[in-house]
Structure 1
């Protein structure tokens, strides 16, 4: 029964590309593309429903509320610590300024007494804090050099000097803080109403070098009236807040641009991969088609080359025959061939007749085999005697 309201709620979030864009905007840190959402519609609906319960960083609404409360408490504690730390740093800077003035000019006795008393009070307080760690830890630690906080408190200046220092401290601290503010103002806005990148850079330099150059910077506004200085100081805080908000806005814009750039980079890479795959397919098809044509042309080339080699072989054979056989030798060979063919025909006729005779002898039976052998022997002897007579007659003629 819950499927109906849920589907109605999801459909109210958007449809098609609008829903995809809303899901991608709700989860900028998630590595999901619009193609993934299109291929997985149920997952897209799940993310769309989940976006109603979590923020862009993935935190739930209750957890986000608790985190904001914790951050507010942390900011409060940080402001409290910064307030104390600023006062302590201001007192230390006043002591440093006194030491610098003492080296370059004569300091009035009451001013010297005030600064020395404040310095001793700060040193004693710091030592007592180091010797009494009970405010920061729950464990008992051994004493440093066997000293106790009570022994250190005995080194405090006289109560009269301390009381006089306390009475003049707010006025002197106000003057010192006002001097620092004027120094910061002189670095931040050298000319009232003009703000540039150079002045912002000077602001950073002022924060780093304020302890050293506060007297010189204070002289920059020496000629201006007290009311104008106070007016500028009054507007300085608002101007700094404005610059801070502008810096935070630029940082948020930079973060959004970074997320957009990352998403576009992923989209570009996916499209580039698709193009590369398409290009590979085209190259493969083109290569196969070209390879077929190339193989066919190679086959035709080798066939033509084979025909040419055969023709060359035939030509060489003809040349060899022409070089070997002249007209006279061909005529002589033709006569020899005719003579041999006539002799071959005569032999074949004789062979045929002999075969007929042998066939007639075979008809007579085995009793004539001895007579045939004797006849063959006599014929051989006659041939041998003819050859011997011929040789003897030739030798006699010579």
Structure 2
């Protein structure tokens, strides 16, 4: 089975973000190292059984030794496949292609990281200059140097946006009719660029040194107050220290994977034993306890029924006592008087409602003429109210 893998990586494209200033940094190199790929769990020894070797070769499969024992042909097939597949299920040839593609990806990522790191360092230098200029006055030479560098960075970024031919295979329309040549005309004078290049390496070295000391202080805060010479020595040993710590972490990770595999096997064995114990316990319960449990449950149900009846009667008794204490003879007679009064009022209100409904029905017979009279009456009432309010206000203000 053949598979072709195509990687579309934007790292080379991003390295062209500032092509106009790339000539000023030809002597600057940022060294980085990509870490090794994490290895898998080491295979079992030759003393293990075939089932254990198969389980170790395919850790992602949810299989148990019992499954492989019940299916010897399937176990034999997996043992044969283990010589052609890795632990993730990839073939040897596909694994080689994948490793080659990952190596190419790391190379392109390293190139992108170099250019991107340098670009961000230059931006930080410009920002630090503006911060220092805000707090303290700077010399005209320093201002000219940073202004020239900032202008080069801006022109390079605009060129990158206007000329995407280095990152895409398609022709794109010009932005506002501008091209890269138009923007390159905004570069500083050649003499200023030459002076900036001559000073850039020294300034960049100072800034990089400061960043490295910050990383060193972050990794080991105790070294922050050491002398500069001692910091330089420890900084030269920092890559080896980081690599050693990385190897220790990798060893711990491998040990954790081994422990996880061992724990999985022990868990499977424990669960199988536990299921056997549960089956034995279930047989004991069915044979010896369920016979007596039926009578016990019957007696318990009778007891709960009797107790429930007693509780119900006690609640009923308490409710009756509460009613006797609440409603005395005097209170009941008062309630009857209140009820008679409320009934009389309700009867009067119903009669009033009936008369109003009959009057309303007689008005509805008049039809549209009555509605016009009502609207006219309503308008007159509003005008009377408005004029009365105006008269009262006028009377108050006249006094």
Q: TM-score range by the shorter chain?
A: 0.5 to 0.7
Q: Which residue does 1:57 correspond to in 2? A: 88
Is the 1:24–1:32 Cα contact (8 Å) retained in structure 2?
yes
Distance 1:14 1:174, change over 3 A: closer
| Secondary structure in structure 1 of the residue aligned to 2:96 | helix
**Helix, strand or coil: the match of 2:203?**
helix
The answer to whether the 8 A contact 1:29-1:259 is kept is: no
Q: 2 CA distance for matches of 1:38 and 1:245?
A: 38
Give the superposition deviation at 1:288: 5.2
Distance 1:99 1:249, change over 3 A: farther
Determine if the alignment matches structure 1 residue 183 to structure 2 residue 185. Answer: no
Query: What corresponds to 2:304 in structure 1?
Result: none
CA distance in 1, matches of 2:267, 2:105: 38
Matching residue of 1:151: 182
Tell me which of the two structures has the higher relative contact order, counting C-alpha pairs closer than 8 angstroms and 6 or more residues apart: 2
| Structure 2 match to 1:81 | 112
Q: Which residue of 2 aligns with 1:234?
A: 236
Secondary structure at the counterpart of residue 146 of structure 1: coil
Say which is worse superposed, 54-63 or 126-135, in terms of deviation: 54-63
Alignment of 1:240-255 (within 5 A): 240-255=242-257
Deviation of residue 47 (structure 1)?
1.8
| TM-score, normalisation: structure 1 | 0.58
| Residue of structure 1 equivalent to 2:311 | none
Q: Contact 1:118/1:165 (CA < 8 Å) preserved in 2?
A: yes
Aligned counterpart, 2:328: none
Relative to structure 1, the CA distance from residue 251 to residue 112 in structure 2 (aligned partners, 3 Å threshold; closer, same or farther) is farther
More helix by share: 1
* 2:91 paired with 1:91: no
1:290 Cα deviation after fit: 3.7
Instruction: Determine if contact 1:26/1:55 at 8 Å carries over to the other structure.
Output: yes
Give the Å deviation of 1:118: 0.7
Q: What residue is the counterpart of 1:100 in the other structure?
A: 131
Q: 1:169 aligns with which of 190, 197, 200?
A: 200
3-state SS in 1 of match to 2:49: helix
Deviations 1:230-280 (A, max 9, x none): 211110111112222223333333344344444444444444333333322
- Residues 345-364 of structure 1: pairs in structure 2 closer than 5 A: none
Contact 1:120 / 1:157 at 8 angstroms: preserved in 2? yes
Confirm or deny: 8 A CA contact 1:20 1:44 kept in the other structure.
yes
- Mapping of 1:1-398 within 5 angstroms? 18-192=49-223, 220-221=225-226, 224-226=227-229, 228-287=230-289, 289-290=291-292
Q: Deviations over 1:104-132 (max 9, x none)?
A: 11222222211111111001100110011
Distance 2:293 2:139 in 1: 103
When the two structures are aligned, how many residues end up with a matched partner?
Answer: 253
For the aligned residues, what is the CA RMSD?
A: 2.5
Write the distance in 2 (CA, Å) between the matches of 1:254 and 1:104. Answer: 53
TM-superposition CA deviations, 1:56-113 (whole Å, max 9, x none): 1122222211111111111111111111111111111111111211111122222221
1:234–1:291 CA distance, 2 compared to 1 (3 A): closer
Distance in 1 (CA, whole Å) between partners of 2:51 and 2:255 is 22
Unaligned runs of 5+ in 2: 1-44, 300-399
DSSP-derived class of the 1:238 partner: helix
Deviations 1:294-332 (A, max 9, x none): 69xx9xxxxxxxxxxxxxxxxxxxxxxxxxxxxxxxxxx
